[in-house]
């Protein structure tokens, strides 16, 4: 009996142990299996969504959280996440995406029909998710106040109408294209141009009366990789307000190809808004120079800037500000582009010829818009550039970028890698040799601002020097004693060493290797001869926005000098 009881006790303990092991295994495997199943379902949904996005005529984007209360345009349910169209503004839940893609048309960049006079088109109404604080075009009362899918918005003129105010006549009424009618390229214009090209006619100016008398179509060129990575958001906002054919992502299409749209538009009427840093602006201006080489001078656009980079000195010089972080609505930016005045910008050719009897390499040739430098600021740019190439993900913020510049500037104050520059170089201004004092750096300026917002040539403004201008065919040449001296100049505690102004600058690096930069693009250079000569003019747009007292006084002095020059002429 005792043996039987001991065997039954042992068997029950074994069963209990196996039971415990089984349930432990289930508790471990079940969450793993559920996670795998959810991942599989999620991946299948993502494949289906990507397939819809790829085949759709809408510019769909997926978001995990909408920035404002949103309702699905198909089922009218409140949604926190889903897809939205960057062109027409439709918002749908994930489950209704396929149905919405079939039911609703997106903005047409070109009208399908070739009938009629092509001088007008009806409104394109989308129901629900109207902008906050929008007013009804009929009763002038606020729209979108009810917590449901309600009211209508035209994707072209951006007018909104209450559900109860919507009448049959509005559905067929001619669209006026709203506030930005002078900037939008109408779809019927492109259909006419397409037909004219088929007929081998190129007199596009005759089409303008069908549009507007003061038509100045704008082309948006945005670099989504610039500075604070706001380019992607701006692309969507501009596509909502304009014809999507006018908006280009420079990470996907080169400026030279995008600017060919100018050849389909009236001569000397196009304006280009470049969203990016000074490097992006230089890229676009180079593409415009290529248009001149191709014989397309009559289609050259005027260029405005929305500063997304780190330094943005050219943008600051032309009145567009030192940086953009979303504080100004896109509507106001377009209004500023319409009101901006045309101005010329000098562009300079920099030729770097290496020394040596057996040097068979061709000279390096650069185009300068802002400034050229040799010394500590070029060294900071070189170190920053090398660090950014290694870990580009760390440099997604303008504040971080400037902090890295500050770190390398502080390091150079202690190390002084560029000391005794005056013993290593010779400087000639308009063929005249300049005797150099003890310096660590030389900076050749074309524009008023340098180093992220410092008016270098004027310094503290306590000495009567002629103001720097960007359209007079003159370069300003200054010297600095080191990184600490640069920092003092930026906070107006010191003046630069003004070496002179000239139409042509020649710099000879006699020995050793020194850091150089052109418009923020740095490199290490051995013994060479640097020659800077005038290349061409660029047509820019100047925005007379809010200015500081220093900027206002400098602009008034520049206007006074310009008036005196005109009187002399």
pLDDT digits (tens, 9 = 90+) for 519-528: 888 898 889 9
Phi, psi angle pair for 274, to nearest 5°: -95, 120
Q: Check which CATH number belongs to the domain holding 307 and give it.
A: 3.40.50
Token pair belonging to 289:
């120079």
Bridge partners (DSSP) of residue 216 are none
Quick one: three-class SS letters along 360-392?
CCCCEEEEECCEEEECHHHHHHHHHHHHHHHCH
Co-location of 91 and 155 in the same domain:
no
Residue 425 lies in a domain: yes
Task: Identify whether the C-beta of residue 380 lies closer than 8 Å to the C-beta of residue 405.
Answer: yes
- Pick from 22, 83, 81: nearest CA to 52: 83
Co-location of 63 and 106 in the same domain:
yes
CA dist list (Å): 156 to 38, 126, 173, 175, 191: 41, 10, 13, 7, 17
Co-location of 392 and 528 in the same domain:
yes
Co-location of 105 and 125 in the same domain:
no
What does 333-345 look like in DSSP terms, one character per residue? HHHHHHHPEEEEE
- For the chain, percent of residues with pLDDT exceeding 70: 82
pLDDT band at residue 366 using 50, 70 and 90 as cut-offs: very high
| Neighbouring C-beta atoms of residue 78, cutoff 10 Å | 14
Co-location of 387 and 293 in the same domain:
no
What pTM value is reported for the model? 0.84
Task: Identify whether the C-beta of residue 160 lies closer than 8 Å to the C-beta of residue 173.
Answer: no
In three-state secondary structure terms, 406 is: helix
Token pair belonging to 206:
């005759």
pLDDT band at residue 507 using 50, 70 and 90 as cut-offs: very high
Q: Pick from 339, 365, 384: which residue ends a domain?
A: 339
Residue 528 lies in a domain: yes
Residues contacting 226, CB < 8 A, separation 6+: 275, 276, 277, 279, 280, 308, 309
- For residues 467 and 473, the model is more confident at 473
Q: Check which CATH number belongs to the domain holding 167 and give it.
A: 3.30.60.20
Q: Looking at residues 226-246, what average pLDDT do you find?
A: 87
Residue 2 lies in a domain: no
CA dist list (Å): 92 to 96, 98, 123, 129, 459: 6, 9, 22, 11, 56
- For residues 382 and 204, the model is more confident at 382
Co-location of 98 and 127 in the same domain:
no
Specify the DSSP element, H or E, that contains 351.
Answer: strand 341-354
User: What pLDDT, on a 0 to 100 scale, did the predictor assign at position 530?
Assistant: 94
Q: Pick from 339, 369, 386: which residue ends a domain?
A: 339
Co-location of 353 and 442 in the same domain:
yes
Residue 4 lies in a domain: no
User: What pLDDT, on a 0 to 100 scale, did the predictor assign at position 245?
Assistant: 94
pLDDT tens figures, 293-313: 888 888 999 999 999 877 788
Co-location of 157 and 226 in the same domain:
no
Residue 161 lies in a domain: yes
pLDDT tens figures, 181-206: 999 999 888 888 888 877 777 666 66
- For residues 557 and 126, the model is more confident at 126
Token pair belonging to 191:
């259909």
Phi, psi angle pair for 120, to nearest 5°: -160, 170
In this predicted structure, the answer to whether residue 170 has a pLDDT above a threshold of 50 is yes
Residue 8 lies in a domain: no
Q: What is the DSSP letter of 265?
A: S
User: What pLDDT, on a 0 to 100 scale, did the predictor assign at position 557?
Assistant: 45
Please give the residue range of the domain that contains residue 467. 347-536
User: What pLDDT, on a 0 to 100 scale, did the predictor assign at position 272?
Assistant: 97
CA-based max dimension of the chain: 130
What does 134-175 look like in DSSP terms, one character per residue? -BBTTT-PBPS-SSSS--EEETTT--EE-TTT--HHHHHSBP
Chain centroid to CA 172: 37
Q: Check which CATH number belongs to the domain holding 389 and give it.
A: 2.60.200.40
Task: Identify whether the C-beta of residue 82 lies closer than 8 Å to the C-beta of residue 58.
Answer: no
pLDDT band at residue 209 using 50, 70 and 90 as cut-offs: very low
State the chain's mean pLDDT as an integer: 83
Task: Identify whether the C-beta of residue 78 lies closer than 8 Å to the C-beta of residue 70.
Answer: yes
**Ordered alpha helix ranges (H), 476-548:** 483-490
pLDDT band at residue 548 using 50, 70 and 90 as cut-offs: very low
Co-location of 529 and 386 in the same domain:
yes
CA-atom Rg of the chain in angstroms:
31
User: What pLDDT, on a 0 to 100 scale, did the predictor assign at position 220?
Assistant: 96
Start-to-end CA distance of the chain, whole Å, equals: 129
pLDDT tens figures, 409-458: 565 555 567 788 888 899 999 999 999 999 989 999 999 888 877 888 88
pLDDT tens figures, 32-84: 888 888 887 777 777 777 888 888 889 999 888 888 889 999 999 999 989 99
Cα(63)–Cα(406) distance, integer angstroms:
36
User: What pLDDT, on a 0 to 100 scale, did the predictor assign at position 227?
Assistant: 62
In this predicted structure, the answer to whether residue 556 has a pLDDT above a threshold of 90 is no
Residue 531 lies in a domain: yes
Co-location of 277 and 223 in the same domain:
yes
Q: Looking at residues 470-489, what average pLDDT do you find?
A: 88
User: What pLDDT, on a 0 to 100 scale, did the predictor assign at position 7?
Assistant: 61
Co-location of 331 and 192 in the same domain:
yes
In this predicted structure, the answer to whether residue 566 has a pLDDT above a threshold of 60 is no
What total of structural domains would you count in the chain?
Answer: 4
Q: Pick from 140, 161, 178: which residue ends a domain?
A: 178
Residue 556 lies in a domain: no
Co-location of 231 and 200 in the same domain:
yes
């Amino acid at each position: 009996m005792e043996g039987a009881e001991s065997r039954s006790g042992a068997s029950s303990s074994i069963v209990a142990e196996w039971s415990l092991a089984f349930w432990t295994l289930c508790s471990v495997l079940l969450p793993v299996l559920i996670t795998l199943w959810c991942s599989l379902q999620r991946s299948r949904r993502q494949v289906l969504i990507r397939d819809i996005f790829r085949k759709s005529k809408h510019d769909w984007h997926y978001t995990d959280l909408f920035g404002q209360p949103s309702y699905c345009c198909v089922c009218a349910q409140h949604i926190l996440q889903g897809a939205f169209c960057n062109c027409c503004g439709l918002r749908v839940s994930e489950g209704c995406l396929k149905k919405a893609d079939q039911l609703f048309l997106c903005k047409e960049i070109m009208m399908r029909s070739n009938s009629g006079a092509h001088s007008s088109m009806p409104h394109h109404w989308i129901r629900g998710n109207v902008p906050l604080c929008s007013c009804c075009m009929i009763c002038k009362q606020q729209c979108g106040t009810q917590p449901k899918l309600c009211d209508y918005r035209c994707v072209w003129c951006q007018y909104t109408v209450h559900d109860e105010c919507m009448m049959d006549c509005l559905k067929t009424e001619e669209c006026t294209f709203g506030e930005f009618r002078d900037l939008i390229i109408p779809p019927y214009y492109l259909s006419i141009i397409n037909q004219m090209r088929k007929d081998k006619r190129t007199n596009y100016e005759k089409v303008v009366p069908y549009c507007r008398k003061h038509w100045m179509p704008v082309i948006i060129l945005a670099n989504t990789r610039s500075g604070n990575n706001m380019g992607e958001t701006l692309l969507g906002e501009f596509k909502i307000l304009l014809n999507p054919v006018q908006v280009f992502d420079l990470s996907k299409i080169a400026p030279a190809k995008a600017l060919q749209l100018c050849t389909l538009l009236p001569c000397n009427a196009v304006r280009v808004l470049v969203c990016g840093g000074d490097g992006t602006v230089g890229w676009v201006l180079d593409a415009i120079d290529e248009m001149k080489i191709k014989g397309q001078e009559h289609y050259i656009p005027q260029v405005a800037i929305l500063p997304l980079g780190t330094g943005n000195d050219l943008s600051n010089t032309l009145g567009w500000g030192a940086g953009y972080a979303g504080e100004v609505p896109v509507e106001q930016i377009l209004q500023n582009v319409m009101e901006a005045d045309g101005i010329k910008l000098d562009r300079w050719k920099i030729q770097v010829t290496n020394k040596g009897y057996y040097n068979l390499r061709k000279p390096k040739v650069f185009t300068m818009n802002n400034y050229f430098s040799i010394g500590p600021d070029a060294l900071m740019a070189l170190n920053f550039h090398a660090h950014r190439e290694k870990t580009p993900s760390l440099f997604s913020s303008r504040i971080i970028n400037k902090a890295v510049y500050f770190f390398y500037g502080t390091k150079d104050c202690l190390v002084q890698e560029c000391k005794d520059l005056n013993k290593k170089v010779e400087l000639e201004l308009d063929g005249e040799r300049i005797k150099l004092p003890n310096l660590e750096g030389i900076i050749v300026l074309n524009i008023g601002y340098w180093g992220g917002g410092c008016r270098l040539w004027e310094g503290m403004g306590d000495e009567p020097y002629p103001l720097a201008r960007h359209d007079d065919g003159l370069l300003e040449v200054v010297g600095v004693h080191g990184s600490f001296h640069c920092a003092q100049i930026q906070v107006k505690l010191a003046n630069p060493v003004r070496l002179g102004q000239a139409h042509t600058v020649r710099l000879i690096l006699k020995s050793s290797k020194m850091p150089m930069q052109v418009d923020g693009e740095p490199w290490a250079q051995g013994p060479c001869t640097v020659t800077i000569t005038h290349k061409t003019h660029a047509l820019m747009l100047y925005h007379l926005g809010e200015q500081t007292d220093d900027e206002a006084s400098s602009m008034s002095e520049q206007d006074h000098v310009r008036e005196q020059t005109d009187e002399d002429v």
